[in-house]
Amino acid sequence: MRRNERGDGTKEERGRDRMREKVSRYMEKNGMLKAGQRVVVGLSGGADSVCLLSLLSDMRSSLSIRLRAVHVHHGLRGQEADRDADFSRELCRKLDIPFILKMENAHQEAQNRRISEEEAGRLLRYEAFEQEAARWEEEEREQEGAALPVRIAVAHHGDDSAETILYHLFRGSGLRGLAGIAPVRGRVIRPLLCVSRQEILEYLREEGLSYVTDSTNLLNDYTRNRLRNQILPMAVQEINRGAVEHILRAGEIIGEADQFFRERAGKFLKKEGIWKESCLEKSRMLAVPVSALGSLAHIEQGYVIREAFSELGWPLRNIDASHIESILSLLDGRTGAGADLPGGVRAERVYENLVLKKKERAAAKDGLPRLSMEVIPRENQAEIPKNRYTKWFDYDKIKDTLSVRYRLPGDYITLKGGGRKSLKSLFIDEKIPREMRGSIPLLAEGNHVLWMIGGRISEYYKVTEQTKRILKVHLDGGTNCG
């Protein structure tokens, strides 16, 4: 046991203990690991990941965790990369940690995905870690029936996060980007965010641990390097010695605020959002009552819109503050006012709702649903089924050919009491958003609509005591959703 329990060791020993305690506390505070959990550690062989592996290695018995190290060879940098892989394998042998080497081709990947080699490398690394984590979980499940989720530990440190905060601050960002690097996201944990690069180097020196240096590291990414090598050091030297810690602390508070607003927006949408999903369309649409959204603070409104995009599975990449404002301006608009947004999204004021939906594509016109029909005698079944996707009609009232189609001018439906109502005014009465109207499939006899498929049917065709034969119509695939 290397830890000095009497607290009277050398300066180096105390330094190492401080580092271990600092990282332990940070991990605990952020709920990074549970006893018995498995951790895949990303190991490049560089200073940061060697420090991370060493610290986690020390914690193995006290936390009863198990480790595997994954080294990704990017197929770049020739012999230097081979050297890094060898170094990493040797370190794991010494620490008695299983070592997994993943051979990748970042150059090829970059070409395939049309991204930079650095970005491709990053994606390949996380994919490799995720793969190994999933595989390990599977092994555990087979052996023990159940498994805690396997975590992935990566070695980002405080300077990385401070750099990220400045990067986003200077290039434009909402609160989320200004929060810096997340300590926990999904499986991924980042135990070293609480320490600086300097502390890592001191720890390695005191532990007598060596590490490799990636010769391309100092060359890549011009912007990042300006931040790392010029702006951050200037802030520390000229403005405040504790600048990095202060930036990180600001990031923490901003992160808390961001999370607060996101959770609140999620709850709001769960309570107030009207989600319309049709089997006939892949994308969903969302309506939010203007009164509810309008009663929120402006910052909450923005979060609700962003959260809605997330929940609808629409990318937020190209949505900036001006788009959010153009959506929110509809709160003061009249019905029909709308805003077109990137990604084919349209926001529209529809009566007392704000509606978000993907614009109809021409292709949608073709995707009419398939109906299966069957004629059955009345006496066979007394109870009319209350089923959204199976409807009965009085077969003997149908005189002409039935068609499945979208609306046409002159379409109408029969109301209780026998009056006719045009489909158009019915849509308006039922506050069906204009942009949905064209994509509601209909079962019709001429202009007389039997069924707004998935919705109401015409009174005229309803099964009554007098009905002799029943037309049973079922929407194929219609039972599993809605």
Give the residues lining the site for a second copy (CB under 8 A): 166-175, 178, 223, 226-227, 230-231, 234-235, 238-240, 242-243, 245-247, 249-250, 253-254, 256-257, 260-261, 297-300, 321
Instruction: Please state, in angstroms and rounded to a whole number, the distance separating the CA atoms of residues 11 and 14.
Output: 5
Phi, psi of 120 (to 5 degrees): -60, -45
Cβ closer to a second copy: 232 or 471? Answer: 232
Q: How far is the CB of 475 from a second copy (least distance, A)?
A: 45
CB 37 within 8 A of CB 9: no
Q: How far is the CB of 218 from a second copy (least distance, A)?
A: 16
CA 233 vs CA 168, 179, 239, 262, 366: distances in Å: 18, 20, 10, 33, 61
Cβ closer to a second copy: 180 or 433? Answer: 180
Q: How far is the CB of 178 from a second copy (least distance, A)?
A: 6
Nearest Cα neighbor of 195 from 9, 16, 4 is: 16
Q: How far is the CB of 169 from a second copy (least distance, A)?
A: 6
Q: How far is the CB of 451 from a second copy (least distance, A)?
A: 48
CB 231 within 8 A of CB 163: no
Nearest Cα neighbor of 110 from 94, 121, 99, 95 is: 121
Cβ closer to a second copy: 221 or 277? Answer: 221
Instruction: Please state, in angstroms and rounded to a whole number, the distance separating the CA atoms of residues 356 and 337.
Output: 12
Instruction: Please state, in angstroms and rounded to a whole number, the distance separating the CA atoms of residues 412 and 406.
Output: 13
Cβ closer to a second copy: 262 or 346? Answer: 262
Q: How far is the CB of 58 from a second copy (least distance, A)?
A: 27
Contact partners, residue 295, CB within 8 Å, separation at least 6: none
Q: How far is the CB of 343 from a second copy (least distance, A)?
A: 22
Instruction: Please state, in angstroms and rounded to a whole number, the distance separating the CA atoms of residues 183 and 177.
Output: 13
Nearest Cα neighbor of 451 from 396, 389, 395 is: 389
Q: How far is the CB of 261 from a second copy (least distance, A)?
A: 7
Q: How many Cα atoms within 13 Å fall on the side-chain side of residue 216?
A: 12
Cβ closer to a second copy: 248 or 452? Answer: 248
Cβ closer to a second copy: 6 or 171? Answer: 171
CB 136 within 8 A of CB 106: no
Cβ closer to a second copy: 31 or 242? Answer: 242
Cβ closer to a second copy: 226 or 346? Answer: 226
